Amino acid sequence: MSGVQVISWETAQEVLTPKRREVVGVLGRMSPNSVRELSRELDRDKAQVSRDLAALAEHGIIRYEEDGRVKKPRLTQEHLIVEPVV
């Protein structure tokens, strides 16, 4: 299916903490121009958001669009599904 990423239940339990789910939710509805802008939207410290983004990127949930020195966080797919799908 186009636009869909499937991750295992185990990965979801490890990676999708409540704060990271919030990051995914915000990225699903807006395209911030920087990590700093995303941090402001979340009302969280930029360093904490950067760590959460790094964990999400490590598991292929987000990627960065590079624009000069600015990194724009983006979801890799429009939808994220946790298996098993029942």
Give the integer Cα–Cα distance in Å for 73 and 60. 12
Name the phi and psi angles at 40, rounded to 5: -65, -45
Per-residue pLDDT tens listing for the chain (86 residues): 678 898 899 889 999 999 999 999 999 999 999 999 999 999 999 999 999 999 999 999 999 999 899 999 999 999 899 888 65
Whether the predicted model's global pTM rises above the 0.75 cut: yes
